[in-house]
Amino acid sequence: MNWGGFNKIFSHDVGIDLGTHSTLIYIKGKGIVLVEPSMVAINQKTGRVVAVGTDASQMTGRTPAHIQAIKPLVGGVISNFEMAEEMIGYFFKKIVELSGSKIVRPNVVVSVPSGITNVERRAVRDAIKNAGAREVHVVEGPMAAAIGVNMPIYEPVGNMIVDVGGGTTDIAVISLGGVVNSKNLHIAGETFNQDIIAYVRDEFKILLGEKTAEEVKLTIGTVLKQGDSTEALIRGRDLVTGLPREVAITDSDIREAIAGSVALFIDAIKEVLEETPPEVVSDIMRRGIVIVGGGSLIKGLRELLEKEIEIPIFLAEEPQTAVVRGTGVILDDISRYQDILIDNEDELPPR
């Protein structure tokens, strides 16, 4: 596929939250125009892309042997450059059709996980430029999220944000326009899905698909007991007979399945607090911690964190879109936020 024509007809600047699980795109002046799974389906016989985004996601677990559904990002970074470029180019073409805009190539602000390497950042820039962008500005995800939820990032006061995404969790303490302390954790929404798959395999001897695990997590999943027990029917392949089988799974099963990952998640937040200067910690104790990201929506997470950390925890409004909203704010006044954008130091020629 060649989406090069995009750079001749698209005129609005673009903000991108390029996530392991989902990609969200913001167009300056129009708001969030695209939310689709970060997935590509490819015909391995011909090497051709057959579906991208939602269409590719619907194929997961249902494809013939020669069709493979690929996630171009793993742990928040590009693992398959060619497929990432195809996916971004497709999304760009789609938003051109949605906007009906014309003329020049866009400037892009894209979020990346905190702590990724120069090589990983460059892969993101190159994939977006090859898809048709003019300039690509990179911002760390937690900083974009903080801007997206209107945190006073430039004031001399400590702010703490936890972005629970699909592939990674970003924990950051921000003050005076910079990150005081941060940690990137490979425990997030997809980790919980894998925990559920492993638990059902071990306890019920049933093999679940990832989409089923995601659905049951969102339907009855909790990290803290809440009221009456709930249950859901799950269907998978019996590992003993090889035949389809249906069993009931409860919210208690989900809690047990993800308990280990949740404990590591809480420990990571405590670790960041322990390594943060006491004056900043004092601010956080008074102001609380804000959680964002799709993974923050699992039931009981806010209450459990508040119980374990003993600091007020606030779930942001529309937490799934906090990061991409932040890229939109940056686009609206890019000169103001220039100092928080990551320099292109990896693109400078050697001295």
Q: Where are the alpha helices (DSSP H) in 205-345?
A: 210-220, 251-274, 278-287, 301-309, 322-332
- Residue 155 and residue 280: Cα distance in Å, rounded? 12
For position 133, what pLDDT does the model report? Answer: 87
Is the per-residue pLDDT at 20 higher than 60?
A: yes
Burial of 121 (0-12, 13-18, 19+ CB in 10 A): buried
pLDDT above 70 covers what percent of the chain?
92
Distance CA 299, CA 171 (A): 20
Nearest-angstrom CA–CA distance, 227 and 251: 11
Strand order in the sheet with 244-250: 206-207, 231-238, 244-250
> pLDDT confidence of 22, banded at 50, 70, 90?
very high
User: What pLDDT shows up at residue 171?
Assistant: 96
Tens digit of each residue's pLDDT (9 = 90 or more) over 104-122: 578 899 999 988 889 999 9
For the stretch 309-324, what's the b/e string if a residue is b when 16 or more beta carbons lie within 10 angstroms of its beta carbon? bebebeebeebbbbbb
Is the pLDDT assigned to residue 178 strictly greater than 60? Answer: yes
Q: Strand, coil or helix: what is 339?
A: helix
The letter for the amino acid at 13 is D
Per-residue pLDDT, 344: 54
pLDDT digits (tens, 9 = 90+) for 298-346: 999 999 999 999 999 999 999 999 999 999 999 999 999 999 998 654 4
- Flag the least confident range among 58-72, 164-178, 202-216, 261-275: 58-72
CA distance linking residue 9 with residue 17, whole number of Å: 22
> Percent of the chain at pLDDT above 90?
73
What domains appear along the chain, each with residue ranges and CATH number?
A: 6-141+324-347 (3.30.420.40), 145-187+262-320 (3.30.420.40), 189-257 (3.90.640.10)
Query: Mean pLDDT across the stretch 208-217?
Result: 91
pLDDT at 137 over 60: yes
Please give the pLDDT value at position 302.
95
Do 240 and 201 form a contact (C-beta atoms < 8 A)?
A: no
How sure is the predictor about 97, in pLDDT bands with cuts at 50, 70 and 90? confident
- 3-state secondary structure string across 107-176: EEEEEECCCCCHHHHHHHHHHHHHCCCCEEEEEEHHHHHHHHCCCCCCCCCCEEEEEECCCCEEEEEEEC
- 333: three-class secondary structure by DSSP: coil
Cα 172 to Cα 152: distance, rounded to the nearest angstrom: 14
When pLDDT is averaged across residues 190-205 and rounded to a whole number, the result is: 95
* pLDDT value of residue 104: 58
Task: Specify the range with the lowest mean pLDDT, choosing from 115-129, 174-188, 271-285, 331-345.
Answer: 331-345
Pairing of strands 40-43, 67-70: antiparallel
Q: Do the Cβ atoms of 170 and 116 come closer than 8 Å?
A: no
* This model's pTM is above 0.85: yes
How many CB atoms are located within 10 Å of the residue 339 CB? 10
Going by pLDDT thresholds of 50, 70 and 90, the confidence category of residue 8 is: very low
When pLDDT is averaged across residues 29-45 and rounded to a whole number, the result is 91
Least confident stretch, 2-11, 224-233, 238-247, 258-267 = 2-11
The predicted pLDDT at position 126 comes to: 93
Kind of pairing between the strands at 289-292 and 313-315 = parallel
Is 5 a residue whose pLDDT tops 50?
no
* Token pair 């989406």: residue: 3
C-alpha distances out from residue 163 to 14, 173, 272, 291, Å: 21, 12, 14, 6
Mean pLDDT of the chain: 89
Question: Quick check: 141 pLDDT over 60?
Answer: yes
Please report which confidence band the pLDDT of residue 99 belongs to, taking 50, 70 and 90 as the band edges. Answer: low
